[in-house]
Amino acid sequence: MNDFLEQVIQKHLLSEIISTSHVSGGCINSAVKISTKESSYFLKWNKAELKQMFQAETEGLKILNNLSPVFSPQVIAQDQLGSKSYLLTEWIEKGRQTPDFWRVFGTNLAKQHKITSSRFGLDHDNYIGSLPQSNKTHNSWYDFFAVERINPQLKLASHKGLISNPIRNQFEILLGKLDQLIPEEPPALLHGDLWSGNFMINSSGEAAIFDPAVHYGHRETELAFTQLFGGFDQEFYHFYEKEYPLEPGFDQRVDIHNLYPLLVHVNLFGSSYLSGVIQTLNRFV
């Protein structure tokens, strides 16, 4: 065990350590599972300069812990030691899917989305993947989506030379008529980065969600992203709508909502994700 792990363990965990084992920490972080006589924990860390990323994740998890009926891990500590920043949470033990797994997951996410706020956004910014995400609040979701979601990604992609002026012009036209394409909804409490890689089945057989990018947004945006890479059973959507029905025509609006995560992927992973963006723009502009 290296000095960093020993210091974190001594600072936050009083129980005797049985073992530590390296696990996946996502695309950019290092991570270990820490097993003690009393319980198990998940520790991930990175450079000290990325402390704000862990601070934002901590705040997001605390919001979900306090408000959402969907399980998310409890935060034990978030801090910095020397040149490393870190986040320590409870360990999520993998379990077996129960027969009513998708019913409970869909119903509970719908209940989470009923939790609302007076404005779209959040009182602090956070991250989508490793990219900064502005959550400046707006009364209108159309303004929030344009100003805090699409435009920052367009600016970054342009700076990287990944998109052309004609594509930017198409976005300008599309954003100008969002209110004709997307129905109004009250601000909904969103996980913010809900895809199949950010949930798992816990030891109780229920969904556990993690790595959030929490904010109050349009609930269709969350559901659209769950469809982008798959991994969610149709039962999930059936029971979601049974609890909290969507406005008719959602399937026709999915691609508009997914322009944001696609642009994020363009900026993180390159122009191979641009074809999906162009297809949607050509369809609606």
The answer to whether residue 15 scores a pLDDT higher than 80 is: no
Q: What percent of the chain has pLDDT over 70?
A: 99
Give the model confidence (pLDDT) of 136-186 as tens digits.
Answer: 999 999 999 999 999 999 999 999 999 999 999 999 999 999 999 999 999
**Whole-number Å distance between alpha carbons of 225 and 193:** 8
Catalytic pick among 3, 123, 125, 193: 193
So what's the pLDDT on residue 1?
58
Domains of the chain as residue ranges with CATH: 3-90 (3.30.200.20), 101-284 (3.90.1200.10)
So what's the pLDDT on residue 3?
83
- C-alpha neighbours within 13 Å on the C-beta side of residue 179: 6
Rounded mean pLDDT of the chain? 95
Per-residue confidence band for 24, with pLDDT thresholds at 50, 70 and 90: confident
The answer to whether residue 277 scores a pLDDT higher than 70 is: yes
Cβ atoms of 109 and 239 closer than 8 Å: no
The answer to whether residue 20 scores a pLDDT higher than 90 is: no
**Average confidence (pLDDT) over 53-62:** 97
- Rounded to the nearest angstrom, the gap between the alpha carbon of residue 70 and the centroid of all alpha carbons in its chain is 14
Give the model confidence (pLDDT) of 206-263 as tens digits.
Answer: 999 999 999 999 999 999 999 999 999 999 999 999 999 999 999 999 999 999 999 9
The answer to whether residue 25 scores a pLDDT higher than 80 is: no
Active site residue 143: no
169: left (phi over 0), alpha (psi -120 to 50) or beta: alpha
Cβ atoms of 89 and 77 closer than 8 Å: no
- C-alpha neighbours within 13 Å on the C-beta side of residue 124: 13
So what's the pLDDT on residue 31?
92
In angstroms, the Cα distances linking 267 to 53, 213, 274 are 18, 17, 10
The answer, as to whether pTM is greater than 0.75, is yes
**Whole-number Å distance between alpha carbons of 28 and 131:** 12
Give the model confidence (pLDDT) of 74-97 as tens digits.
Answer: 999 999 998 999 999 999 999 999
